[in-house]
Structures are given as structure tokens and as C-alpha cells.
């Protein structure tokens, strides 16, 4: 098992990118969040993930954010989302992210040409990136956004590459997790679905990259700690209490919901970038209640 994986045992928030009302990146707000997160026992950070609105950023903004994450992360590891549709572009961005201080690259499956992205094409893509990358690579499967699920045999095959150290899976598919870890137990497995976090930890996941952790880092860390020390009753209870908030900031209201929950929790969510729009006042009230419920679990 790669040494970096030992440091990823826990909760990793996928950092949001706060925007100003005029649409510019609000880098000071991004830095304030990192400073605030230092108080929680988080394992590391992901910058440029789906919740970081990476698909809406240009390359210069991306590099600036990696640099800022590295500066603000202290001694915690920084993962950077560097996946683009082309192998060539992904390699170039991975190298720039490494230069800017990323400890590892999280590479989403390409997906625009769905019907042509066979197992062979995906293997070729990730192997070329892992060959070229100066930093370790984690695969990233997020079918709700991409419409493409990384097949278990592809993940198992890529686990043999010395520079592929793990993956993030965001649909919460336990069959995938159990198949992959059954054959490639040394692979780091980051659960990207808050609703599957405790079950995934039971089944052997290394940690979680959870949107809800951006708004409620303490409860997600408490959940991980309970599972890690074998306190299953407590972990199960925390998992259940977390559900309304977790569902609200992902499937129900997406990044705008997450940003609003962060604002309510005292972090800097900021504006989403259009075409995403801030949530309504009614949703904000729903989020306020879900946040209060989640927090009640750790008071």
C-alpha cells in the first residue's frame, strides 16, 4: 500500500470554489475555508473536484487553486482533480498541478464519447496518464455527472500499475467496492457518496471524499472515528442523522445547496458560477434545518 494512502484514512472535503457575485474566483474566501478546516481532524483536501466546479474553471484558475490549497493545507495531503477529455490534456494539467504542489491526481473518466470509451480505451487512457504523471494517480468514477461508470475489471486491471494508488467512487456501488477490493485489496478506495460512507468503511474503504464534509466536517469526522475504533452503533447512528443534510447538498440541491449550507455553517460558500444559481430562500430554510439536525448528533 502506497504511503500516501495511510494519510488518506479519514475524511477529505472536496473543496468548493467560492465565486464573487461578478463570477470571479474569490481566492481569499477559499483560503479562509482552509484555515477554518484546520480545526477539524480532516485527512486531507481535494481541490478541483466536481464540487469545486472544476468543469467551469479555466486552466489558470485551476493552477492558482492548487497552489492556494497547498499553501493552506498545512501538512495535510492535497489531491487535485486533473481529468479532462483527452489523455494529452490530462497529462499536461496533471504535470502543472504537481508543479503547483498537488500530492496526487484524481482523474475522472473521460465521458463525452461514451459509446467509444470501451474498457480498452479507458485502460489506455489511465495507463498513459499514470506513466507520465510525476505524482500518484487515483481513478475517479462519478456516473451521476458523467453517465459512465468505471467497470470493476478496468479498475482491477489498473490497480497493477505502480503509479495508480487508488480510486474514488461516487455512486456508492457496494458491489463495485467489494469486487475491486476483493481482487486488489492494496488499492486505496475513497467513497464519494456520503450516504454510503459508513457501510463503505465497514467494507474496507480507506476514507471518504464527501461534499457534506465541506459544511459539516465535524460530524463526518466523528462518523469516521467511530467506525475506525469499531464503535458500530455510534457510527450507524451518525450515518443516519447525517442523511437529510447529505441528500440536500448533493442530489437535491447540488453545488448551490452545498455552498448555501457552508454559508449557514459559517464557512464561505460564495456564489456558484452560472448557469448554476444560488438556492432560493425556501431551500435555505430546508438546509438550515438539516444542518441543525446533523449538528445535534455531535453535541
Stretch 103-162 residues interacting with a second copy (CB under 8 A): 110, 112-117, 120-122, 124-125, 128, 144-147, 152
Helix segments in the chain, DSSP class H: 3-7, 27-37, 59-72, 87-99, 119-132, 143-146, 152-158, 174-183, 197-203, 217-228, 232-247, 254-265, 281-296
Which CB, 26 or 89, lies closer to a second copy? 89
Q: Pick the catalytic residue from 62, 114, 168, 259.
A: 168
Does residue 260 touch a second copy according to CB under 8 A? no
Among 194, 210, 221, 245, binds a second copy (CB under 8 A): 194
Instruction: Decide: 250 and 293 in contact? Cβ < 8 Å.
Output: no
Stretch 32-61 residues interacting with a second copy (CB under 8 A): 50, 53, 55-58
Among 6, 38, 160, 202, binds a second copy (CB under 8 A): 202
Among 161, 172, 234, 284, binds a second copy (CB under 8 A): 172
C-alpha distances in Å from residue 3, one per residue of 79, 111, 244:
14, 30, 35
Give the x/- contact pattern for a second copy in 218-257, rule: CB under 8 A.
------------x-x---x--xxx-xx-xx---x-xxxx-
Does residue 184 touch a second copy according to CB under 8 A? no
Q: Is 231 helix (H, G, I), strand (E, B) or coil?
A: coil
Cβ 73 to a second copy, closest distance in Å? 25
Does residue 71 touch a second copy according to CB under 8 A? no
Radius of gyration of the chain (CA): 18
**Which strand ranges, in their side-by-side order, compose the sheet holding 164-169?**
11-12, 207-209, 188-191, 164-169, 137-141, 104-108, 78-81, 45-47
Instruction: Decide: 177 and 146 in contact? Cβ < 8 Å.
Output: no
Which CB, 51 or 163, lies closer to a second copy? 51
Burial class, 175, CB count within 10 angstroms (exposed 0-12 / middle 13-18 / buried 19+): exposed
Cβ 142 to a second copy, closest distance in Å? 9
Cβ 56 to a second copy, closest distance in Å? 4
Cβ 113 to a second copy, closest distance in Å? 6
Which CB, 36 or 117, lies closer to a second copy? 117
Give the torsion through C-alpha atoms of 223, 227, 228, 231, to 10 deg: 110
Active site residue 168: yes
Q: Return the active site residues.
A: 168
Amino acid at each position: 500500500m502506497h504511503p500516501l494512502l495511510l494519510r488518506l484514512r479519514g475524511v477529505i472535503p472536496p473543496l468548493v470554489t467560492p465565486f464573487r457575485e461578478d463570477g470571479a474566483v474569490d481566492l481569499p474566501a477559499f483560503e479562509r475555508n482552509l484555515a477554518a478546516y484546520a480545526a477539524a481532524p480532516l485527512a486531507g483536501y481535494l481541490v478541483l473536484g466536481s464540487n469545486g466546479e472544476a468543469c467551469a474553471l479555466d486552466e489558470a484558475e485551476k493552477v492558482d487553486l492548487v497552489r492556494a490549497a497547498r499553501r493552506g493545507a498545512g501538512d495535510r495531503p492535497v489531491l487535485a482533480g486533473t481529468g479532462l477529455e483527452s489523455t494529452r490534456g490530462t497529462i499536461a494539467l496533471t504535470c502543472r498541478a504537481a508543479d503547483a504542489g498537488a500530492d496526487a491526481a484524481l482523474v475522472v473518466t473521460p465521458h463525452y464519447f461514451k459509446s467509444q470509451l470501451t474498457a480498452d480505451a479507458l485502460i489506455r487512457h489511465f495507463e498513459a496518464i499514470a506513466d507520465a504523471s510525476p505524482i500518484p494517480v487515483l481513478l475517479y468514477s462519478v456516473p451521476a455527472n458523467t453517465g459512465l461508470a468505471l467497470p470493476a475489471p478496468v479498475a482491477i486491471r489498473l490497480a497493477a500499475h505502480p503509479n495508480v494508488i487508488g480510486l474514488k467512487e461516487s455512486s456508492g456501488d457496494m458491489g463495485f467496492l467489494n469486487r475491486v477490493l476483493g481482487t486488489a485489496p492494496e488499492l486505496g478506495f475513497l467513497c464519494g457518496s456520503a450516504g454510503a460512507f459508513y457501510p463503505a468503511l465497514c467494507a474496507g474503504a480507506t476514507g471518504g471524499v464527501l461534499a457534506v464534509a465541506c459544511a459539516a466536517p465535524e460530524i463526518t469526522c466523528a462518523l469516521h472515528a467511530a467506525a475506525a475504533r469499531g464503535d458500530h452503533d455510534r457510527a450507524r447512528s451518525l450515518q443516519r442523522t447525517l442523511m437529510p443534510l447529505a441528500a440536500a447538498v448533493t442530489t437535491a440541491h447540488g453545488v448551490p445547496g452545498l455552498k448555501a449550507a457552508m454559508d449557514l455553517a459559517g464557512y464561505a460558500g460564495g456564489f456558484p458560477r452560472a448557469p448554476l444559481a444560488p438556492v432560493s430562500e425556501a431551500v435555505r430554510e430546508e438546509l438550515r434545518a438539516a444542518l441543525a439536525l446533523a449538528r445535534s448528533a455531535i453535541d
